[in-house]
Chain A
């Protein structure tokens, strides 16, 4: 009996030590904040999966800003702590919780997909932690008016509605509408529909394929049959690559329009010549001729050996918003309300041109009409062809 007890005790210990060891290994020390202590900035972005490149671009540009500041804001060193969200609201919420509870970050920034943003807004609001949305476009993220939530990208409305008006002005009054069937796709579609119908256009047909459709041939056949003068589409990531490529493969003549995400710098290398001629609207165009953009492009290219994307610009502005606000509070991040107020008053000098925040903390900014062209050096990129000035989200 006694002998058996020893064996059993050992066995138990092996198990317990094993399990507890694993758990303790998952734990790391939490930092304290205060004068001279580092400013801890939590970054929640996709670093794996289809949107990983977006996460990379945003992070790189944020680092670029803080490096330019000597990695010190108001006398406090800066620490960027990143967590992978994939493109999944569940993972995103867990990542944000890890950063808030384990790393005790002062500010959160990131969120590529809208679903992640909504989940994170919910948990940051409880603790009044400033949260800077660096990409997600879901309209309600800022329209719900949470005080702690800021956005440096754009709302879905801002990159869809203006195109409806613009196309009618240009004499295009019949459009076939097509977007991926999920929250962001529906917002983009309805934003465009609203602007287009109000301006007097007619929608001649709609198809809404599910997310991650691999073969668009059925949908494209329907578009072909409708034979519209133009098609407005919203897809992102791999969906955008497949849609645009297959669109050309099927030899559809109709001019393709959409929010900038269907032919952005992230998807263009894979889309190649298939993307030439596509016209989109976005709050940035790589060829913008303002000193901030030239300076930013030069610095980014030197640091990372590639051209900045709209995501990089958003990353830069997110870091700018956080950095300048902390300067304004003299490094005090403890008083969250004061920090939020300082963020409301930050003046931007963004590569995208004029930019200020509206009362919901969503940017008022120019929206650029761009066309994909083959440049003189053979590369394929977006070229600005028109500007719609000072576009503000309606707020509700």
Chain B
């Protein structure tokens, strides 16, 4: 047990601490930004923070129990649809109602998919999560009277609180910021708990953990469900922010995008995937306003990352840190 946690601590001690500080700093900067920024930029940051929560949820799964899922859009989109359906079909945009419905639905979905898929490992896990998530996608696309089919579910308002407070884009920004910070610190707490150490142990050598006597599948399922639930919350925010949920929010390219966000940001940390979300957003959506060849640039940047930035953004930060530490500390 003690042995199993050691590699994680060794690799994790500095980045986790510095990462936490970086996150606190970023949260502070983000908290004051709306007083200077344009409406448009507030919108952009809201969008990125929602995607960052999504990437964080997958990053947790990929970094600790080392489960690479290609079906995470099912939970994000599932949460988005749950919130959207409550808000539009039941005309109840109460924040707690939509958020809780999204959370519950994504959790149930994660239990179901997790139970079915966790017998598989490696690429087979990746592919079975893809298959099961695509079944969710087909349902979203075909069940037209409930989901709006290919047209999507239109007209989702910003949430409100029991009739006495309605969110606008300004307050919604802070809601997202709060939940992004909350999700980060929650998962940070989890990864540092004994439970998190077991997950890390499973990630580095599952067979050994089983030999020591851990029921690794239960641990993996718990991590999977937690991750799915967080993704579901992100999805609910996404639905409120965009005012629309469409099948593309459950489709596999979104799962792939989340996977890329995590790799670009750096799997194995919690801050990395969130930064990865920002970078990928910029390369994908941001750049396309300026050049027609943004896709090509994005592809090239990914290749450069593979060659020159092992471990993603978190990896760069770590090696920068180590260089400084080596120069100043000895």
Residues of A within 8 A of B243 (CB): 93, 119, 122-123
Q: Is the interface of B mostly helix, strand, loop or mixed?
A: helix
Taken together as a complex, chains A and B put the C-alpha atoms of A30 and B37 apart, in Å, by 12
CB–CB A8/B21 < 8 A: yes
> Could you give, for residues 1-41 of chain A, a 1 whenever the CB lies within 8 Å of some chain B CB and a 0 otherwise?
00110111011101110111011011110100000000000
Residue B205 is within 8 A (CB to CB) of chain A in the complex: no
Residues of A within 8 A of B154 (CB): 89, 118-119, 122
CB–CB A15/B40 < 8 A: no
Instruction: Pick from B108-116, B123-131, B214-222, B316-324 the stretch touching chain A.
Output: B316-324
Residue B279 is within 8 A (CB to CB) of chain A in the complex: yes
CB–CB B317/A15 < 8 A: yes
Residue A48 is within 8 A (CB to CB) of chain B in the complex: yes
Which of B25, B152, B328 contacts A118 (CB under 8 A)? B152
CB–CB B22/A101 < 8 A: no
Residues of A within 8 A of B292 (CB): 47-48
CB–CB A101/B40 < 8 A: yes
Which of A11, A48, A94 contacts B22 (CB under 8 A)? A11
| Tier of interface size on chain A | 35 or more
Residue A290 is within 8 A (CB to CB) of chain B in the complex: no
CB–CB B21/A12 < 8 A: yes
Taken together as a complex, chains A and B put the C-alpha atoms of A358 and B168 apart, in Å, by 36
Residue A182 is within 8 A (CB to CB) of chain B in the complex: yes
CB–CB B242/A12 < 8 A: no
Which of A27, A114, A122 contacts B38 (CB under 8 A)? A27
Known: A16-B29, A89-B246, A114-B151. A3 touches B278 (CB 8 A): no
Residue A226 is within 8 A (CB to CB) of chain B in the complex: no
Residue B26 is within 8 A (CB to CB) of chain A in the complex: yes
How near does chain A come to B239, taking the closest CB pair, in angstroms?
11
Residue B193 is within 8 A (CB to CB) of chain A in the complex: no
Residue B325 is within 8 A (CB to CB) of chain A in the complex: yes
CB–CB B44/A23 < 8 A: yes
How near does chain A come to B308, taking the closest CB pair, in angstroms?
15
Residue B34 is within 8 A (CB to CB) of chain A in the complex: no
Residues of A within 8 A of B151 (CB): 89, 114-115, 118, 138, 183
Taken together as a complex, chains A and B put the C-alpha atoms of A20 and B278 apart, in Å, by 10
Which of A6, A20, A90, A138 contacts B244 (CB under 8 A)? A90
Residue B122 is within 8 A (CB to CB) of chain A in the complex: no
CB–CB B278/A22 < 8 A: yes
Q: Is the interface of A mostly helix, strand, loop or mixed?
A: helix
CB–CB B317/A14 < 8 A: yes
CB–CB B289/A88 < 8 A: no
Residues of B within 8 A of A90 (CB): 152, 242, 244-246, 248-249
Instruction: Pick from B93-101, B170-178, B280-288 the stretch touching chain A.
Output: B280-288
How near does chain A come to B280, taking the closest CB pair, in angstroms?
10
Taken together as a complex, chains A and B put the C-alpha atoms of A236 and B47 apart, in Å, by 32
Which of A14, A25, A183 contacts B150 (CB under 8 A)? A183
Residue A306 is within 8 A (CB to CB) of chain B in the complex: no
CB–CB B29/A122 < 8 A: no
Query: CB-nearest residue of chain A relative to B288?
Result: A84
Residues of B within 8 A of A11 (CB): 18, 22, 317, 320-321, 324
Interface residues of A in 77-127 (CB under 8 A from B): 83-84, 88-91, 93-94, 97-98, 101-102, 114-115, 118-119, 122-123
Taken together as a complex, chains A and B put the C-alpha atoms of A118 and B321 apart, in Å, by 50
Query: CB-nearest residue of chain B relative to A21?
Result: B282
Residue B275 is within 8 A (CB to CB) of chain A in the complex: yes
CB–CB B320/A102 < 8 A: no
CB–CB B321/A26 < 8 A: no
Residue B8 is within 8 A (CB to CB) of chain A in the complex: no
Residues of A within 8 A of B285 (CB): 94
Taken together as a complex, chains A and B put the C-alpha atoms of A362 and B325 apart, in Å, by 68
How near does chain B come to A299, taking the closest CB pair, in angstroms?
25
How near does chain B come to A341, taking the closest CB pair, in angstroms?
26
Query: CB-nearest residue of chain A relative to B328?
Result: A3
Query: CB-nearest residue of chain A relative to B322?
Result: A7
Interface residues of A in 235-249 (CB under 8 A from B): none
CB–CB A182/B150 < 8 A: yes
Residue A385 is within 8 A (CB to CB) of chain B in the complex: no
Residue A298 is within 8 A (CB to CB) of chain B in the complex: no
Residue B120 is within 8 A (CB to CB) of chain A in the complex: no
Residue A50 is within 8 A (CB to CB) of chain B in the complex: no
How near does chain B come to A219, taking the closest CB pair, in angstroms?
18
Residues of A within 8 A of B21 (CB): 8, 12
Residue B121 is within 8 A (CB to CB) of chain A in the complex: no
CB–CB B26/A119 < 8 A: no
Taken together as a complex, chains A and B put the C-alpha atoms of A71 and B304 apart, in Å, by 43
CB–CB B149/A183 < 8 A: yes
CB–CB B278/A23 < 8 A: yes
Taken together as a complex, chains A and B put the C-alpha atoms of A260 and B292 apart, in Å, by 30
CB–CB A88/B248 < 8 A: yes
Residues of A within 8 A of B18 (CB): 8, 11-12
CB–CB A115/B41 < 8 A: no
CB–CB A15/B275 < 8 A: yes
Query: CB-nearest residue of chain A relative to B149?
Result: A183
Interface residues of A in 294-347 (CB under 8 A from B): none
> Could you give, for residues 130-167 of chain B, a 1 whenever the CB lies within 8 Å of some chain A CB and a 0 otherwise?
00000000000000100001111011000000000000
Query: CB-nearest residue of chain B relative to A52?
Result: B292
CB–CB B150/A19 < 8 A: no
Taken together as a complex, chains A and B put the C-alpha atoms of A122 and B328 apart, in Å, by 58
> Could you give, for residues 305-329 of chain B, a 1 whenever the CB lies within 8 Å of some chain A CB and a 0 otherwise?
0000000010001001100110011
Residues of A within 8 A of B47 (CB): 94
Taken together as a complex, chains A and B put the C-alpha atoms of A97 and B25 apart, in Å, by 29
Taken together as a complex, chains A and B put the C-alpha atoms of A27 and B41 apart, in Å, by 7
Residue A211 is within 8 A (CB to CB) of chain B in the complex: yes
Which of A4, A20, A91 contacts B329 (CB under 8 A)? A4
CB–CB B282/A22 < 8 A: yes
Known: A115-B152, A118-B154. A23 touches B45 (CB 8 A): yes
Query: CB-nearest residue of chain B relative to A14?
Result: B320
> Could you give, for residues 209-240 of chain B, a 1 whenever the CB lies within 8 Å of some chain A CB and a 0 otherwise?
00000000000000000000000000000000
Residue B181 is within 8 A (CB to CB) of chain A in the complex: no
Query: CB-nearest residue of chain B relative to A91?
Result: B248
Residues of A within 8 A of B245 (CB): 90
CB–CB A16/B22 < 8 A: yes
Residues of A within 8 A of B275 (CB): 15, 18-19
Apart from A89-B154, A118-B152, A119-B246, list 9 A-B contacts with CB within 8 A.
A4-B329, A11-B18, A14-B320, A22-B279, A26-B44, A90-B248, A98-B289, A119-B244, A183-B144
Kindly list the 7 A-B residue pairs having the minimum CB-CB distance in the complex, ordered from nearest: A26-B286, A102-B40, A101-B40, A7-B324, A182-B150, A115-B151, A89-B152
